[in-house]
Amino acid sequence: MFRRLLVEWCAVALLVLGLTVGLTLTRATSKADDAIYDQIVHLRAPPASERILLVTIDDASLAALGHWPWPRTVHAKAIQAISAARPAAIAYDVLFTEPARASKEDEALAAALSDAKKVTLPILFEAPGANGRPFETVLPVPPIARAAAALGHVALPHEADGQARAALLDVNDGSHAWPHLAEQTFRLAYGRPSPAWQRGVRRGDMSVLVPYREVGAYRTASFSDVLAGRLPPAFIRDRIVLVGATAGGLGDRHDVAGAGTLAGIEVQANLLNAMLADRFVREAPLPLRLAIGALPALILLLLFWRLRPSAALVASLVMFGLIAMAPVLLIAMAGLWIPPATGLVGVLFVYPLWGWRRLHTIDKAVARELSQLSDDLDGWVATTIDRLDHPGRNAVALSGSITALRDLKRLVADTVEGIADPLVVTTMEGDVLVANRHAEALLSQNAGVRNALYGMPSTNDLISADGRHFSHRRTPLTGADGTRRGWIHLLAEITGIRAVERDREQALEFLSHDMRSPQASILTLLEGSKTGVGADAADKIAYHARRTLNLAENFVQLARLRETPFGPEDVDLHDCLAEASDALWPLASKKNVWIVVPPAEPCYVAGERHALTRALLNLLDNAVRFSPSGAKIRCEIDSVETAATSLFEIWIEDQGPGISEERLTDLTSRFGPLAVAGPGLSVGLGLAYVRTVAERHGGGLRYEAVSPRGSRFIFTIPALDPSSVDGGPHESG
């Protein structure tokens, strides 16, 4: 089957390739391509240059100066008036191919041209030419031709539909190459050929596609106003002035692509404007046009191997849209014109052809699979299939498949009903498809629970009217084709879990308040005036009471620390250390122990101030309790730079007995080691709290022995980027 599919695919590919190559070579789709080009070519048109000024021989000028043609002395005066304002160049698009009635008129015009020095005049091509030549070149009369700074042609080729799209930068009449009037004007203004001319010379092709602008796009002045001196010189200075006819019935008119009908002077202005902006349209070479015409259809054929029908249709529409949009983008951004009609025809041809072949294959595959499925259903249709035609056999097989699906549905329903928790299957919109009896009872009495099925699962519990707690979890429900059709919601009852959590909170509350209150009362009595207890015994009782308080506080704080989310703020470690030192000052003074906290610059971290202060308090408390009388506890905050980040190391060093090797392994475990009689032993719950705080802040806790005796605990925490500290450093208290 694969070989047959491959042969059919190759046949379709060759057919499409032959079609697109033939359409490209014969230009059979040129009308459609030209229509598309005419609609989008304006996207390439540059803005009208401020340097271009049109002086138009309009109806108002004819009314003021009389019927055409005017004496050449009028033209001479106009040239003198324009040149007096010092323009960059003048293109005078008026033919002077016949002598004037009075020779003095030609002499006056020649003198004006000679004085102006920057005037180009048009030449005329008359067809047919003499001696079998296609055309004859007609120059202005000799005195005028000699006086002009340059001569240029104004011929504009029209295509079969009458539209002008291209311009010829150069025309060779067999004896002389004549640049276009706009090209000659550009050279007079800038002293060099235009970039379009230079590219044409390299390419060997002087034809360019011009993006035209609509009528009235360029700055315009009436000929009569210029002649009468009503135009300020600043309006003309340094501009390229084009003089030509726009009056009705006077001068040439051209239908140009994308801009309608333009007078000859406006055609020259558009060509000159494109030269100034260097924005032309160039048609893609033939190899590229052949590739663009054939590749989209061939790419679709390759995609059809993998795509499902719906995806194939989407791919075809996307490819069609890309082909349609590509010319728009290419013309607007790069000035490249690739005719799209051939590629569009190829896509429109290949999709139905390949779709028909696919439907034929699917029909055969469905018939085969349905027949096999019917045979698998105990063979009860075997006696009837042979007597039916092809559609009948498919119908019988389909009927058997539906029966099997009904049995499957019953199996699913029994399975759903057997689940102890509420189970609901909904559509994407939240409409209930399947629900077991537990879910039906819950949803019928709790509108809030039903509404929760329409949104995303919440992190909060769903609470029913009778006080039960449910955890909402959902799983996507997909169809056979892989598309998502709905959700499977499981409402797991967690009422018992929540009750246990409440009991735990009450236990913490008991430890935090009820268990601490008697110990605080004991300390208060011992610190009172007369208790009837000896000083030695009072100290021991106070020691154990304080130890019990610390145990309860550390346990509560550790439990809550592990349950609450991390909420950092800008914290100065030096402030935390100073606060912890101040809190332990009474105990340290009583033991005659000194806590040395040297002054330091603020050390900012992103952390929780209370947790950090308590962690440092636990470390200092251990150091004070296990240091001998007269000892000094040294505290330092060092800044450490690593390859990944900046760290602060807070180390607290005592002069106590140190910690034995066998106790280092469980030093920071949650419930060990427990203090017993003798020096050097501490309660591990406090260090467990310190380690938890360090890891919560992305740091750590380590121990180092101090020679000859003593312990050093080093608390590490990442430093805060100085640029993120609001208001800069703060003074420590």
Where in 181-304 does DSSP place strands (E)?
A: 207-209, 219-222, 240-245, 253-256, 260-263, 282-283
Residue 253 and residue 128 share a domain: yes
Asked which of 16-25, 359-368, 692-701 is least confident by mean pLDDT, the reply is 359-368
Q: Per-residue pLDDT for 225 more than 70?
A: yes
Q: Per-residue pLDDT for 728 more than 50?
A: no
Band of the pLDDT at 556, cuts 50, 70, 90?
low
In a domain, 650, yes or no: yes
Q: Which of 83, 94, 349, 446 is nearest to 233 (CA)?
A: 83
The confidence score (pLDDT) of residue 683 equals 45
Residue scoring higher pLDDT (397 or 385): 397
Residue percentage of the chain with pLDDT more than 70: 79
In a domain, 371, yes or no: no
The confidence score (pLDDT) of residue 150 equals 95
In a domain, 577, yes or no: yes
pLDDT digits (tens, 9 = 90+) for 231-257: 999 999 999 999 999 998 888 899 999
Q: Per-residue pLDDT for 191 more than 90?
A: yes
Read off the pLDDT of each residue in 392-403 and give the average, rounded to a whole number. 65
Indicate the residue among 262, 278, 294 that finishes a domain.
278
Give residue 382's identity as a one-letter amino acid code: A
Q: Can you tell me the distance from the alpha carbon of 251 to that of 257, in angstroms, rounded to the nearest whole number?
A: 20
Residue 154 and residue 211 share a domain: yes
The confidence score (pLDDT) of residue 379 equals 46
Q: Can you tell me the distance from the alpha carbon of 319 to that of 328, in angstroms, rounded to the nearest whole number?
A: 15
Indicate the residue among 460, 493, 526 that finishes a domain.
493
Read off the pLDDT of each residue in 212-236 and give the average, rounded to a whole number. 93
Residue 499 and residue 489 share a domain: no
CATH number at residue 685: 3.30.565.10
Kindly give the interhelix angle for 309-334 and 286-304, rounded to the nearest 10 degrees.
160
The confidence score (pLDDT) of residue 250 equals 85
DSSP 310-353: HHHHHHHHHHHHHHHHHHHHHHHHH-EE---HHHHHHHHHHHHH
Residue 485 and residue 500 share a domain: no
Residue 388 and residue 340 share a domain: no
Residue scoring higher pLDDT (538 or 170): 170
Residue 686 and residue 584 share a domain: yes
| 77-91, 202-216, 373-387 — most confident range | 77-91
Q: Provide φ and ψ at 657, rounded to 5°.
A: -75, -10
The confidence score (pLDDT) of residue 733 equals 29
In a domain, 157, yes or no: yes
| 221-235, 350-364, 373-387 — most confident range | 221-235
Structure tokens at 231: 């135009």
Cα 190 to its chain centre, rounded Å, is 44
Cα angle, residue 718 at apex, residues 713 and 722 outer, rounded to 5°: 130
Band of the pLDDT at 540, cuts 50, 70, 90?
low
Residue 478 and residue 446 share a domain: yes
DSSP state of 160: T
Q: Per-residue pLDDT for 132 more than 50?
A: yes
Cα 379 to its chain centre, rounded Å, is 58
Q: Per-residue pLDDT for 724 more than 70?
A: no
The confidence score (pLDDT) of residue 727 equals 44
pLDDT digits (tens, 9 = 90+) for 561-597: 666 778 889 999 999 999 999 999 988 998 899 999 8
Containing 152, the helix (H) or strand (E) segment is strand 150-153
In a domain, 372, yes or no: no
Containing 6, the helix (H) or strand (E) segment is helix 2-26
Q: What is the mean pLDDT of the chain?
A: 82
In a domain, 249, yes or no: yes
The confidence score (pLDDT) of residue 680 equals 35
Structure tokens at 13: 């590919």
In three-state secondary structure terms, 263 is strand
Band of the pLDDT at 380, cuts 50, 70, 90?
very low
In a domain, 389, yes or no: yes
Structure tokens at 216: 């009235």
pLDDT digits (tens, 9 = 90+) for 2-31: 677 777 788 888 988 999 999 999 999 999
Q: Can you tell me the distance from the alpha carbon of 373 to that of 331, in angstroms, rounded to the nearest whole number?
A: 57
Residue 559 and residue 606 share a domain: no
Q: Per-residue pLDDT for 190 more than 90?
A: yes
276's torsion region: left (phi>0), alpha (psi -120 to 50) or beta?
alpha
Q: Which residues contact 461 (CB under 8 A, 6 or more apart)?
A: 469, 470, 471, 494, 498
Indicate the residue among 457, 478, 493 that finishes a domain.
493
Structure tokens at 148: 């002009």
Q: Per-residue pLDDT for 106 more than 60?
A: yes
Q: Can you tell me the distance from the alpha carbon of 207 to that of 205, in angstroms, rounded to the nearest whole number?
A: 6
Residue 507 and residue 594 share a domain: no
Q: Provide φ and ψ at 158, rounded to 5°.
A: -115, 145
Instruction: Supply the range of the domain harboring residue 590.
Output: 568-724
Read off the pLDDT of each residue in 356-365 and give the average, rounded to a whole number. 67
pLDDT digits (tens, 9 = 90+) for 428-487: 877 888 888 887 888 787 777 777 777 777 677 788 878 888 888 888 888 767 788 888
Residue scoring higher pLDDT (675 or 72): 72
The confidence score (pLDDT) of residue 562 equals 65
Read off the pLDDT of each residue in 88-99 and give the average, rounded to a whole number. 94
Q: Per-residue pLDDT for 84 more than 80?
A: yes
In three-state secondary structure terms, 282 is strand
The confidence score (pLDDT) of residue 439 equals 79
Residue percentage of the chain with pLDDT more than 90: 42
Residue 265 and residue 296 share a domain: no
Q: Per-residue pLDDT for 658 more than 80?
A: yes
The confidence score (pLDDT) of residue 414 equals 79
Structure tokens at 387: 């007597």
Residue 183 and residue 295 share a domain: no
Number of domains in the chain: 6
Structure tokens at 567: 């909420």
Residue 138 and residue 68 share a domain: yes
pLDDT digits (tens, 9 = 90+) for 598-654: 777 788 999 989 889 989 998 998 899 888 998 999 999 998 888 778 899 999 999
In a domain, 160, yes or no: yes
